[in-house]
Amino acid sequence: MLTRSVRQFDPQMADNRTISQLEAEGYPWISCECCKGTVWVPFKMLRERLPMLSAMTLDQLGARMRCDKCGKRPERYYPANQNDTPGFVRS
Ligand SMILES: [Zn+2]
C-alpha cells in the first residue's frame, strides 16, 4: 500500500505531480529561486507558451525554466500558493 500522506516537503525530492494536479490542489504558481531571489510564475502564463503544460510534471517544468538574468535553471522550484507567500517578488 502506498502512503502518500507522510510525504514531506523536500525540494530535492522529485515531484511527479502534474501541473493540472497541482492546480487542483490549489497551487496556481511555480516558485523559482535563482540569482534574482524567488520569482513566482503563474501556470496560466506558462500555459500560453507551453500548451502541454497541464500534463507536465513539476520536474519537467522546472527543467524548462530558465532565469532571464543568468540563463541557468533555477536552483530550486516548487509549487506555491498564496499562503506561502511572504511578499510578492516582482521582476
Ligand atoms: Zn539567475
Residue-level pLDDT at 87 = 58
Q: Confirm if 39 and 68 have CB atoms less than 8 A apart.
A: no
Question: What is the CA(28)–ligand 1 centre distance, in A?
Answer: 22
- Please give the distance, rounded to the nearest whole angstrom, from the Cα atom of residue 4 to the centre of ligand 1: 33
| Ligand 1 centre distance from Cα of residue 71 (Å) | 6
Residue 35: pLDDT above 80? yes
- What's the pLDDT score for residue 91? 47
Give the residue-averaged pLDDT of 65-76: 91
Expressed in angstroms, the distance from the first to the final Cα of the chain is 44
Specify the DSSP class assigned to residue 52. Answer: T
Length of the chain, please?
Answer: 91
Q: What is the pTM of this model?
A: 0.73
Instruction: Calculate mean pLDDT across residues 30-57.
Output: 94
